[in-house]
A = this chain, B = another copy of it.
């Protein structure tokens, strides 16, 4: 269901670090938002040095944008963004001051996966069950 998009300059993250960060984001999202890891997507955009600017000059931030379904309890969203931010620095070694995490959302019924409209937060179990029955 969610998509996390990580944007950095090329060569900042090794192949291993990307895999580790993807695994850690997946673990955290899965735990906090009650979604099996098989529904968590993480992609990386690794841009040229002249394609990334902070304060109008070439820079090397780590920008992570997550899309999640609207309607998760406030405390859950706060925990999610905090844990993703902590993991980003812990896994990559990039200091927190160069890391920006942004969570965006839209209603679950504006998203389709596996041919089915996504469940609203709290209704995951019935949705997943129906999927399993169809397999």
Contacts and interface: CB of A to CB of B under 8 A. Distances in A.
Nearest to A20: B56
A73 B6 CA distance: 29
A114 interface: yes
Given A53-B41, A54-B38, A103 B106 contact: yes
A117 to B, nearest CB: 7
A111 B115 contact: no
Copies of this chain? 3
B101 A85 contact: no
Q: Indicate the size class of the contact surface on chain A.
A: 35 or more
A113 interface: yes
A104 to B, nearest CB: 5
Interface of A: 1, 3, 7, 15, 18-19, 22-23, 26-27, 36-48, 50-59, 61, 63, 65, 67, 77-78, 81-82, 84-86, 89, 96-97, 99-106, 109-115, 117
